[in-house]
Amino acid sequence: MIPAILPTYNRAPLSFERGEGAWLWTEDGTRYLDMGAGIAVNALGHAHPALVEALTDQAGRLWHVSNLYDIPHQRRLAGMLVEHTFADTCFFTNSGTEALELAVKMARKHFAARGADRHRIVTVEGAFHGRSIAAISAAGAPKMTEGFGPLLPGFTQIRWGDHDALAATMADDVAAILVEPVQGEGGIRALPEACLRGLRDLADRHGALLILDEVQCGMGRTGRLFAHEWAGIVPDIMMVAKGIGGGFPLGAVLAREAAAAGMTAGTHGSTYGGNPLACAVGARVMEVITAEGFLDRVNAVAARFRAGLETLSSAHPQVFGEVRGRGLMLGLKARAPNTEIVSRAYAQHLLTVPAGDNVVRLLPPLVIGDAEVDEALGRLDAAAAAIARAA
Ligand SMILES: *Cc1c(COP(=O)(O)O)cnc(C)c1O
């Protein structure tokens, strides 16, 4: 019999009752160290006092009015995003997938509004952009698309690192190049900074737009507010979600004025997108992440984590390979099956997240301290030792 919850997830037999910072408690009081942060969502950890205050304060005033009216928190959050990024304008969504939908629509409309027939979007193999038909068509991986056809036409996937194929596909019908600066689901694969700059140049030379999916790698995750800042380039359109709501469902599309030129009144909408609860929390998340010294602290703790992971990996060469990623978006290439490592880590009361390419992801809350990093390393070491003993 089919379970009451559609069985599309392989869930661990774990259930949590409350959280604080980087820690979660099950109902029987067992404490777990959270190095997954709800898949890079709980950027400020669990039950951050400033976020609890922002949400409960708004909850006592007003939950929802729709985008037929001005929403002060939404305006405030958009102002902060515009101030701190390349963007001139924002649209709020409830998820990363919805951000993808708008990014695709915006790129196509940008050209259509000028009478140009350019609609194709070039993406990279191993990408993840969400689970809607447009998002799976964009990523193109059979494990996501099989049985869901017909897919949306107009996407071309290029193999990772295949510069010749990329150059060859850049024809006059290409509206945009769409990439994650650091692939998350694909296995914490960071595009080298030179490649990101190369993509910016390529898009410019062809008059195409550059869309960055920073749903997972944005909002301070890599140690800069957005990952593309490391490469010194700016996109035309950027998708944001996950960390921006700190656990409250919220996403956004940020864009330069020219890129957004086709998006006039009536061309797009969302009933819930940017509602008062989500934006009250989102604005507080932005305040904390952009406060003086916050990202310096992320970079310092990330350096400690990375050095520890390198040591760990050398100590267990039969279990772990290379360390990947940037900031607190880290991955351990696994030599044992990554799912086995994740299960062994559960036994050590440590939460990690598997990714593609047999990688174990470490995406802790950005507020973790040195002691928690050391604790996580110790638990990973114990999990690896258990795998070695069992082998
Ligand atoms: C999670 C993710 C998405 C989809 O976001 P949802 O909120 O699950 O719809 C899109 N792109 C990237 C890079 C992601 O990590």
pLDDT band at 19 (very low <50, low <70, confident <90, very high): very high
On the CB side of 94, CA atoms within 13 Å amount to 8
Distance 134 CA to ligand 1 centre (A): 13
Residue 46's identity, in one-letter code, is H
Distance 188 CA to ligand 1 centre (A): 14
Neighbours of 154 (CB within 10 A): 16
> How far from chain centre, in Å, is Cα 231?
18
Decide: 95 in ligand 1 pocket, CB within 6 A. yes
Mutate to test the pocket of ligand 1, among 123, 185, 242 (most ligand atoms within 8 A of CB): 242
Neighbours of 56 (CB within 10 A): 10
Identify the pLDDT of residue 108. Answer: 98
Q: Once rounded to an integer, what is the mean pLDDT over residues 40-62?
A: 98
Rounded Cα distance between 219 and 286, Å, is 8
Decide: 34 in ligand 1 pocket, CB within 6 A. no
Decide: 186 in ligand 1 pocket, CB within 6 A. no
Rounded Cα distance between 337 and 319, Å, is 8
pLDDT band at 304 (very low <50, low <70, confident <90, very high): very high
pLDDT band at 290 (very low <50, low <70, confident <90, very high): very high
- DSSP class of residue 131? S
* Partner residues linked to 360 by β-bridges: 332, 354
Predicted confidence (pLDDT) at residue 23 exceeds the cutoff of 90: yes
Q: Percent of the chain, pLDDT > 90?
A: 99
Predicted confidence (pLDDT) at residue 102 exceeds the cutoff of 90: yes
Distance 382 CA to ligand 1 centre (A): 31
DSSP string, 12-76: -S--EEEEEBTEEEETT--EEEESSHHHHT-TT-BT-HHHHHHHHHHHTT-S---TTS--HHHHH
Predicted confidence (pLDDT) at residue 391 exceeds the cutoff of 90: no
Decide: 128 in ligand 1 pocket, CB within 6 A. yes
Identify the pLDDT of residue 377. Answer: 98
Rounded Cα distance between 339 and 231, Å, is 33
Distance 97 CA to ligand 1 centre (A): 6
Which residue, judged by its Cα, is nearest atom 5 of ligand 1? 96
Decide: 184 in ligand 1 pocket, CB within 6 A. yes
Distance 217 CA to ligand 1 centre (A): 10
Distance 216 CA to ligand 1 centre (A): 7
Strands (E), the chain: 16-20, 23-26, 31-34, 89-93, 120-124, 155-158, 174-179, 182-183, 189-190, 209-213, 237-240, 251-255, 320-326, 329-334, 350-351, 353-355, 359-362
Identify the pLDDT of residue 153. Answer: 97
Q: Once rounded to an integer, what is the mean pLDDT over residues 236-256?
A: 98
Identify the pLDDT of residue 341. Answer: 97
Nearest CA-CA partner of 391 in 326, 321, 344, 333: 344
Decide: 238 in ligand 1 pocket, CB within 6 A. no
Atom of ligand 1 lying closest to residue 130 CA: 4
Rounded to the nearest integer, the mean pLDDT of the chain is 97
Decide: 241 in ligand 1 pocket, CB within 6 A. yes
Atom of ligand 1 lying closest to residue 40 CA: 15
Distance 144 CA to ligand 1 centre (A): 13
Distance 305 CA to ligand 1 centre (A): 25
